[in-house]
């Protein structure tokens, strides 16, 4: 019987899919029928995510991997093609912060954030691109941040990485549009995650003043935008940056 699931039979690689927003994205794409591959630095989190995703009736593969390690990501993609036969969706979600004011930011903090957030997206995109070109079909979604559009004191490294990711999105979109591959970005604002749970009430109120919608977003809000940009409903959209921020950065 034909399925009415939009992403049935497609293969989605969700980096950092073991936790937080990436896990919400992985679940959402699996609910739409996609098989999911989870490369995560935290191998145990990747395994737990894959076990959960299989419960949704799709195939799921877990890999302990650093997104900035090109040789390892080539292995992950080769193993994916062996097991699942293709790769149609890449969500570059893995990301880290190492916050400090610039004068106190050391080179290790700068390099770690640029390496994971920006080099990681370059490495993973390159790893899947040849296969997507062969298929003449692919959707890449980069998880940026409103901080890449607006800047944020204490996050020069992070905002530079996210602004860089937006530049990468637009340049790669131009390179591969004629091959049937779309490249878009989602820029979340303040999303309720383990990170925002740490905020004091005062900090939370301060943040909410900057958000016209007056509330934090949920990981599912980001996942819904990613689902749209991966689906054929967005077939004529490429090089776009979709803010999911309750109006914060408009």
Q: How is the beta sheet containing 11-14 ordered, strand by strand? A: 60-64, 35-40, 11-14, 89-92, 138-143, 181-188, 241-244
Exactly one of 158, 164, 238, 244 is catalytic; name it.
158
Does 41 engage in binding with ligand NAI (CB under 6 A)?
yes
Q: Write out the E strands in the chain.
A: 11-14, 35-40, 60-64, 89-92, 138-143, 181-188, 241-244
- DSSP state letter for 130: H
Annotation marks residue 236 as catalytic? no
Residue 194 sits at the vertex; the CA angle it makes with 189 and 200, to the nearest 5 degrees, is 80
Does 67 engage in binding with ligand NAI (CB under 6 A)?
yes
Stretch in the footprint of ligand NAI (CB under 6 A) among 52-60, 88-96, 128-136, 234-242: 88-96
Stretch in the footprint of ligand NAI (CB under 6 A) among 29-37, 82-90, 94-102, 168-176: 94-102
Q: Give min distance, CB of 146 to ligand NAI, in A.
A: 7
**Single residue of 7, 12, 26, 45 touching ligand NAI by CB under 6 A:** 45
Does 18 engage in binding with ligand NAI (CB under 6 A)?
yes
Cβ nearer to ligand NAI, comparing 54 with 72: 72
Cβ nearer to ligand NAI, comparing 118 with 129: 118
Helix axes 43-54, 20-31, angle to 10 degrees: 20
Contact 145, 187 (CB under 8 A): yes
Contact 26, 36 (CB under 8 A): yes
**Single residue of 79, 195, 215, 233 touching ligand NAI by CB under 6 A:** 195
Stretch in the footprint of ligand NAI (CB under 6 A) among 1-9, 62-70, 124-132, 228-236: 62-70
Distance CA 245, CA 141 (A): 17
Q: What are phi and psi of 66, to 5 degrees?
A: -100, 120
Q: Give min distance, CB of 59 to ligand NAI, in A.
A: 20
Catalytic residue positions, numbered: 158
Q: Which residues bind ligand NAI (CB under 6 A)?
A: 15-16, 18-22, 39-42, 45, 65-68, 93-96, 116, 120, 143, 145, 188, 190-191, 193-196
């Amino acid at each position: 019987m034909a399925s009415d699931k939009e992403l049935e039979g497609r293969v989605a690689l969700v980096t950092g899919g073991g936790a937080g927003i990436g896990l919400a994205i992985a679940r959402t794409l699996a609910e739409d029928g996609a098989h999911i591959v989870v490369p995560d630095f935290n191998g145990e989190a990747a395994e737990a995510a894959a076990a959960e995703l299989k419960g949704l009736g799709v195939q799921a593969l877990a890999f302990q991997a650093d997104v900035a390690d090109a040789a390892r990501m080539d292995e992950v993609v080769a193993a994916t093609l062996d097991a699942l036969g293709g790769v149609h969706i890449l969500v570059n979600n893995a990301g880290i912060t190492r916050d400090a004011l610039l004068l106190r930011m050391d080179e290790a903090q700068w390099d770690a954030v640029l390496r994971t957030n920006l080099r990681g997206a370059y490495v993973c995109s390159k790893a899947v691109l040849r296969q997507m070109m062969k298929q003449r079909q692919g959707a890449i979604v980069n998880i940026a941040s409103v901080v890449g559009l607006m800047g944020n004191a204490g996050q020069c490294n992070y905002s530079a990485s996210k602004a860089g990711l937006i530049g990468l999105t637009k340049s790669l979109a131009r390179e591969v549009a004629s091959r049937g591959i779309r490249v878009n970005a989602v820029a979340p604002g303040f999303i309720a995650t383990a990170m925002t749970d740490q905020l004091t009430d005062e900090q939370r109120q301060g943040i909410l003043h900057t958000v016209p919608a007056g509330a934090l977003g949920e990981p599912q809000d980001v996942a819904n935008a990613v689902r749209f940009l991966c689906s054929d409903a967005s077939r004529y959209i490429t090089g776009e940056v979709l803010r999911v921020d309750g109006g914060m950065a408009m």
